Amino acid sequence: MRILITGTGGLLGSNLALEAASDHTVFGVDRSCPQKTTAFTPVMADLLDPGVVERILDDTQPDWVIHCAAQANVDACEHNPENARELNTELPRKLAHHVARGGARLLYVSTDAVFDGQKGEYTETDSPNPVNVYAQTKLDGENAVLDASSNAIVARINIFGWSPSGKRSLAEFFFNNLEVGNQIKGFTDVFFCPVLVNDIADLFYQMLDKGLSGLYHVVSSESISKYDFGVAIARRFGFDPDLITPISVTQSGLRAVRSPNLTLRVDKLIHDLGVVPPGLSPAIERFYTLYQQGYPQMLRTLCLD
């Protein structure tokens, strides 16, 4: 297959491209990270520029398009909601329209944050209730994509893993600080279902290959608090878990409101795909093994200075 992946300078896009490169022809688009790799074909472009989406689709002729590029900084979205809407809603709308017209399949990456987190255990039939600009613009992006293409996939996710910058996931935040002995904080009252980015790559490609369409929750089959997640990282790497101070998210001083309980159900994915997403222990073990294999260092060579 010919696969076009947007946002390959980021956590998800870079890992998706590398995971697919051995079996597929991959094109990776990024606007801010000049990339040097032989694993896939880098395309340096700003998808917001007029005519760029159409040109790249014509040039690459993809069978599958995975749209990862987004403004994912929650507080930055609060500061500049117009930019967030352009990147998280209008760009997916435009991309979905042109992908559908060309006959390719689109997978749009969304977020668990579309829910307000008041009850948890959300299914795809539960009504979203975004609590910040980021979540609202991503939800609007979901609706725009599904309106434009009946065979598109919308995947709500929460991921962790190694990134080219070394700073893009919660796991890296814990690792980077614990490694040097910094005292940090972990939220005891924020729950999520994080899936390792390398594992989600496997799930995405199986979903596309099987011809699934519509809305899916693609997260871990288990949930955990962010504090306990940090402790699990600390213990696997042999760091001191007492460096993590348990606190409430209400004490954080974060600019944007956060949803406290973003546990999602994956029954629909299990039924339609026939695969159970990995639990937390094997995911953290694979995260550790990748570190031992030098994977983070390899990722950091992707983006040129």
Are the beta carbons of 162 and 287 closer than 8 angstroms? yes
Cα gap 169→185, rounded to integer Å: 15
The residue written with tokens 């017209």 in the block is: 101
Helices 170-179 and 226-237, axial angle in degrees (round to 10): 50
Distance, CA of 267 to chain centre: 20
Cα gap 168→195, rounded to integer Å: 14
Q: CA separation (Å) from 162 to 97, 109, 130, 165? A: 32, 18, 28, 9
Q: CA separation (Å) from 246 to 95, 140, 227, 254? A: 42, 34, 6, 16
Cα gap 175→171, rounded to integer Å: 6
DSSP-derived pairing of the beta strands 184-187 and 214-217: unpaired
HEC string for 77-89: HHHCHHHHHHHHH
Structure tokens at 13: 């896009």
Element (H, E) at 98: helix 91-102
Among 108, 134, 205, 227, the one annotated catalytic: 134
CA torsion sign for 154, 156, 162, 164 is: positive
* Active-site residue, 134 included: yes
Alpha carbons within 13 angstroms on the beta-carbon side of residue 43 total: 21
Cα gap 58→56, rounded to integer Å: 5
The catalytic residue positions are 134
